[in-house]
Amino acid sequence: MLIALLLVAAGITLLVVGGEVMLRGAVRLATLWRLSPAVIGLTVVAAGTSIPELAVSGAAAMQGSADIAMANVVGSNIFNIAFILGLCAIIRPFAVEGNTLRLEYPVLLLMTLFGLVIAQDLMISRLDALLCIAFYVGFTAYVVRLVRGQATANELEQFDAETQALLVMETPPTLLPSLGLVAGGTVLLAFGAQLTVQGASDLARLWGWSERVIGLTIVSMGTGLPEVVASLVSSLRGRSDMAIGNVIGSNLFNILMVLGITASIAPLPVSAALVSNDMLWMLGITLLLFPLLWTGWRVNRVEGALLLAVYGLYLALLLQQA
């Protein structure tokens, strides 16, 4: 058991480090291509914290662990909303930007429902995958265009701050070092994903847990570490408002791109338990966010505690099924 735990720990460490290295390289390349900080923030940075989820789900699918691949996506989305936003609200209540309620949250809710619909036949097909990718590309293109034309000064400042934090360097970025960072990060992600999936599968066998439960708990929490770190740092710096944007962006990427890319490699089987239980929890927790966001356009400490309590209840019920 110790070896399996060490494999998971080593894999998650490589995923976090590899994702950060790859993200920095990608941001430098985007800067070389003269993309604006706002565009980089909405595309490269927004997707960057979900790179570990993509690596693990892709590796799990290719190794025949479809339950881990799918459960990682569902568990990560539940974890992001219920745990991360709940914890951030307790640390420091945060306001909600107007665009979050008018555009980003409704799209997340719609795409969460879409994910549930395409999983009803217990298979994410290549056609489903292409639709997911097309939706994400279209939405991102629309938001980039919207930000370029209508972004407020505060929103532009947020995107600039996120991007500039990744661009602290003594010299201007150059092509080969930037490509080297992307390549090095990719290698670390590949090794980290393989170790995580192998360790998680071993733990499932040793503990008598299903791969679904392992994916919904240990794996999804581990791959969610970049979102935890990014959101907690924002909260401690007095920028808790950035947490909601990070979470919504990450959840959209998980549903559309992680599922889309994974199922485009090979159709992804979905267990009946995931569809009838966990994906309904994912939809329910996403719906729960709506009244919380509307109460004065703030998420306060009481509401944060409620989100954490809901996550605790979900885990308790899930582990009873293990």
Distance CA 275, CA 268 (A): 13
Q: Which two tokens stand for residue 212?
A: 């679904």
Q: Which two tokens stand for residue 100?
A: 């979050």
Q: Which two tokens stand for residue 283?
A: 């939809």
Q: Structure pTM?
A: 0.84
pLDDT of residue 278: 97
Place of tokens 């409620």: 306
Taking the chain, what is the end-to-end CA distance rounded to the nearest angstrom? 17
| Single-letter code of the amino acid located at 236 | L
Find all residues with CB under 8 Å of 208, minimum gap 6, and list them.
Answer: 322
For 174, 286, 291, the CA distances from 302, given in Å and listed in that order, are 48, 18, 13
Distance CA 108, CA 92 (A): 24
Closest CA to 215 of 63, 92, 17: 63
Question: Rg of the chain's alpha carbons, rounded to an integer?
Answer: 19
Q: Which two tokens stand for residue 12?
A: 């998650």
Give the DSSP per-residue string, 170-182: SS---HHHHHHHH
**At 309, which CATH number?**
1.20.1420.30
Residue ranges, the chain, pLDDT below 70: 34-43, 45-46, 97-99, 147-173, 234, 237-242, 296, 322
- Domain limits at 91? 2-321
Q: Give the helix/strand (H/E) hosting 123.
A: strand 123-124
Using the 8-state DSSP alphabet, how is residue 170 labeled? S
Distance CA 186, CA 212 (A): 26
Distance CA 319, CA 310 (A): 14
pLDDT of residue 270: 95
Q: Which two tokens stand for residue 163?
A: 């991007």
Please check whether residue 125 is in contact with residue 7, taking contact to mean a CB–CB distance below 8 angstroms: no
pLDDT of residue 77: 96
Distance CA 59, CA 84 (A): 25
Please check whether residue 170 is in contact with residue 68, taking contact to mean a CB–CB distance below 8 angstroms: no
Q: Quote the number of domains for the chain.
A: 1
Distance CA 296, CA 161 (A): 26
pLDDT of residue 170: 46
